[in-house]
Amino acid sequence: MEPQPIQVKKLDDYRWEIPKGARPGMRVPGLIFADEALMKNILSDKSLEQVANVATLPGIVKASMAMPDIHWGYGAPVGGVAATDPEAGGVISPGLIGYDINCGVRLLRTNLTEAEVRPVLRNLVNQLFRDIPCGVGAGGDIKFSKDQERRILTDGAQWIVKQGYGTASDVEHTEARGRLEGADPDKLSDRAYERGKGQVGTLGSGNHFLEVQVVDQIFDEKAAQVFGLREGSVTVMIHSGSRGLGYQVCDDYLEAAGRACAKYGISLVDRQLVCAPVNSPEGRDYLAAMRAAANYAWANRQLLMHRAREVFERIFSQGWTKLGMSLIYDVAHNIAKMESYEMDGKEKTLCVHRKGATRAFPPGHPELPEDYRPLGQPVIIPGDMGRNSYLLLGSAGAITGSFGSACHGAGRVMSRTAAVRSAKGRSIRQELEAKGIIAMARGRAGLDEEQPSAYKDVNDVVRVVHEAGLSKRVARMRPIGVIKG
């Protein structure tokens, strides 16, 4: 017998609740951040069923949460946030983190204006496409030995910078300073090593991209000045993750977590939510492997940024420092972190899962770099390649409302298969070029799958997290050049 559709209760203009009793076994309610229009779209797939399923996990606290970019995912929705209490038997679940561990985004500013870039834009995009490896299985031309790969897994972007591919400022302006402690390369399988071999410094495929953008609106002049942004200035955004290595870590530990469920007597409403107690040997092993994959992803994005800087140097015949290509920030998605929150008047260390969600810490938070501490954490939210992306700042409302989290992008409304089907007889490349956007990809399918209409309008999504008090808008950017796998 098919379960009844999930019933949601409107709490206010930007929050909706799935009552705790909506499905058997729910330990907490569901909480969705959305407005009326976005909720209509969210109700069209089964992602709210997944929100309710996550609410049944052992040790979950407060609520199973979903951001406005929520859509159907493996086990848990993309756009999901959940915190578990290890002291109360709280679990960690690979399906609630995702396959592409620490898929994330970094944003660079420049001193360049659109007027300076537009005459050489095609050459710039062509050179980026030539010099930055992208596509399924693509390998990089900067090679590392097995011992060096282990250092990448333990030390992340910090080790890459020590090899000359960046600066101390890059590390300071990366979430977790580009390295999670407790990573253990020995917790990775030989297959994970094999899949990750040679892929550091590669973009990948799917929704991963490098974009040349132009700031087209400033919302917070003071914050924008701190970041060196002004209307008309050019930025660079990079979106990539842990490549094949992260995918294999997820695969391996889904199997291990399945065995752990049987061992610890954990009953599941969905086998894709296999999990292990955070404090169990199996939970600790997965945390150590996930942290290693996260470090790999930060190293990957650091090397991609190095490559992008080299291309700009070549095109504009100036060093990247003179071009002002400094890193504003790097944020992680698809990750679990041990973080402290006040629960019922007590400080608790929780395991916060963010799957397709971005950390959004407020002003004064001790984990922020000193120069940003008065402002709050930069929150980077990319949209589709035909509309906009945003820079925001984390707010106090995120700590009390969403475990310091905001959305991570626009969110798909069309499967890749459906997007390819809808692009039949059209040229997405030409449609983008008509808007002044030069896009390059390895084959037509990459652009067809990622066409703008495959995504929600990021402007609508960002308005929700802004109005809900999770993050506040600083600047909006529009793409002018895109490379994809």
Instruction: Report the catalytic residues.
Output: 408
Distance CA 485, CA 479 (A): 17
Contacts with 402 (C-beta within 8 Å, 6 or more apart), sequence order:
33, 65, 67, 81, 360, 470
Q: Give the residue among 142, 245, 339, 20 at the shortest CA–CA distance from 253.
A: 245
Distance CA 367, CA 265 (A): 37
Other beta carbons less than 10 A from residue 30's beta carbon: 28
Distance CA 256, CA 349 (A): 24
The residues with which 483 forms a beta bridge, in sequence order, are 210, 440
Question: Which of 86-115 are b and which e, b meaning 16 or more Cβ less than 10 Å from the residue's Cβ?
Answer: beebbbbbbbbbbbbbbbbbbbbbbbbebe
Length of the chain in residues, anyone? 485
Under DSSP, the state recorded for 412 is B
Q: Give the residue among 189, 201, 130, 196 at the shortest CA–CA distance from 163.
A: 201
Q: Give the residue among 213, 232, 215, 218 at the shortest CA–CA distance from 308.
A: 213
Q: Give the residue among 120, 110, 324, 329 at the shortest CA–CA distance from 235.
A: 110
N-term to C-term CA, the chain: 42
Phi-psi region of 16 (alpha: psi -120 to 50; beta: other; left: phi over 0): beta
Distance CA 386, CA 485 (A): 17
Radius of gyration of the chain (CA): 21
CB 394 within 8 A of CB 376: yes
Element (H, E) at 248: helix 243-264
CB 30 within 8 A of CB 64: yes
